[in-house]
Structure 1
Amino acid sequence: MSVFDDLAGGLVISCQPLPDEPDDPMRDPYVQARVAASVVRGGAVAVRANGTADITAIRAAVDVPVIGLHKHGVDGVFITPTAAHAVDVAEAGAHIVAVDATNRPRPDGRTFADTVRAVRERTDALVLADVSTAAEGVAAVRDGADAVATTLSGYTPSSPPGDGPDLVLVARLAALLPVPVIAEGRYRSPEQIDRAFAAGAHSVVMGNAVTSPLWITRRLVAATRRAAVTHAEHRA
């Protein structure tokens, strides 16, 4: 039985501070572990977490699978960009390692397949391929990925940007692949979650819309009268 069986039909919550906000008060392993424990109590079937410190803290706080990654400020490839990062994430306690599987060059000069082999040889973790296109998903499975996620759709030159989730990509991957397809990227409402499952998603990941007070508050403040007045003053 695969860890991915525990995710089937459920909601995965990503517990991460905003990557471009180094002063986000949520940037603390203890805080993220408490957030993770809260979402699991609410029904999350797994948690997605960034960085070895957060992964270790969250793994100790919850009894559901942890999808781990390492966001690194490398141009292009950003999510677990090297084989060494992938192994570190697994050794920190992640049951599943999320790895950028786009066709962009990796900073260590290795391929996605090389990274999968490194994880297999040194750990018991499974590998989740974060992709932006259907072709990347097919290639990732060929190279050993245990599952594929739509995380990077809209964030690469090969995929058009959009405000909402890429449900078309979910449907295409679900029709093409023999492995679980995880719907991730800009999911913000129950209706979008329903549509992802209708498109064939194995599970759905939601992040900022649940776990980032900074992101949520900014979106709400943008709709206030004060924000409208400030915008008008700047235009004057």
Structure 2
Amino acid sequence: MLIPKGALVVSCQARADNPLHGPVYMSAMAQAAEAGGAKGIRANGVEDIAAIRAVTALPIIGISKVWDDRFPVYITPGFEDAARIAKAGADIIGIDATARPRDGEPVERLIARIRSELGKEVFADISTLDEGRAAHAYGATYVATTLSGYTEETASRRGEGPDLELLEALVAALPIPVVAEGRFDTPDLVAEAFKRGAHAVVVGTAITNPREITKKFVRAADARNP
């Protein structure tokens, strides 16, 4: 098991429109996260993953975001995407394991190929209990609540903070590690996730996106000073 129980994993990602976009900044962010006590890193794309691999021995959950207007699935949709990030240094391959259409292999085949052909563990991002059960049945190493609130079926959950109910249900139903991810933006929420049985918690924006953190403070200031 590469991600230790009780670990905080920091997601070091920045989109192209973010001033921190690029491997130089993301590798520095990963180093800062490790210095702060993180026990794992989640990162997107070959360049960022390779740069982060060069500066840390922490386990990397690698993903490859492939945007295609024809398909809702964009997190590592196919085996070739997984193979590239594995070669770049990812220890664990993160995939969208929802039941939505994708430009790639069915989830069950993708998980099987990552495990057998790449020899990598699979981190399955799901949005419902049924999807978590399926990912486990297909051979995923970890199941994460990442996509609750970000699929059509679960969109109503997005404004309600982390999906702690899904976390609890997955922990009760599955014998594999369940990871809490998605809208964990305070230390208290992270502590609550561990209280409810999370094996690990992934935090991204609240740690690694200064632009969004600043916006949050500005909104509070504006509300105080209309």
TM-score (norm 2): 0.94
Shift of 1:132: 0.1
Gap runs ≥5 in structure 2: none
Shift of 1:146: 0.7
d(CA) in 2 for partners of 1:94, 1:227: 44
The answer as to whether partners of 2:53 and 2:89 remain within 8 angstroms in 1 is: yes
Query: How do residues 175-190 of structure 1 correspond to structure 2 at under 5 angstroms?
Result: 175-190=172-187
Shift of 1:228: 6.2
Structure-1 residue corresponding to 2:197: 200
Query: How do residues 78-227 of structure 1 correspond to structure 2 at under 5 angstroms?
Result: 78-108=74-104, 110-159=105-154, 160-163=156-159, 164-225=161-222
The answer as to whether partners of 1:90 and 1:119 remain within 8 angstroms in 2 is: no
| Helix, strand or coil at the partner of 2:127 | coil
d(CA) in 2 for partners of 1:82, 1:23: 25
How well do the aligned residues superpose, as a CA RMSD in angstroms?
A: 1.5
| Helix, strand or coil at the partner of 2:100 | coil
- Any idea what the Cα deviations from partners look like across 1:90-120, whole Å, max 9, x if unmatched? 1111111110000011112x21111112212
Identity of aligned residues (%): 43
TM-score (norm 1): 0.90
Shift of 1:79: 1.0
| Matching residue's letter, 1:180 | P
- Any idea what the Cα deviations from partners look like across 1:121-160, whole Å, max 9, x if unmatched? 3322110100000000000011110110000000112213
| Helix, strand or coil at the partner of 2:93 | strand
| Helix, strand or coil at the partner of 1:113 | helix
Q: How many residues align?
A: 222
Answer with 1 or 2: which has the greater Rg.
1
Greater alpha carbon shift after TM alignment, 214-223 vs 92-101: 214-223
| Matching residue's letter, 2:99 | N
| Matching residue's letter, 1:3 | L
Gap runs ≥5 in structure 1: 230-236
| Matching residue's letter, 2:187 | P
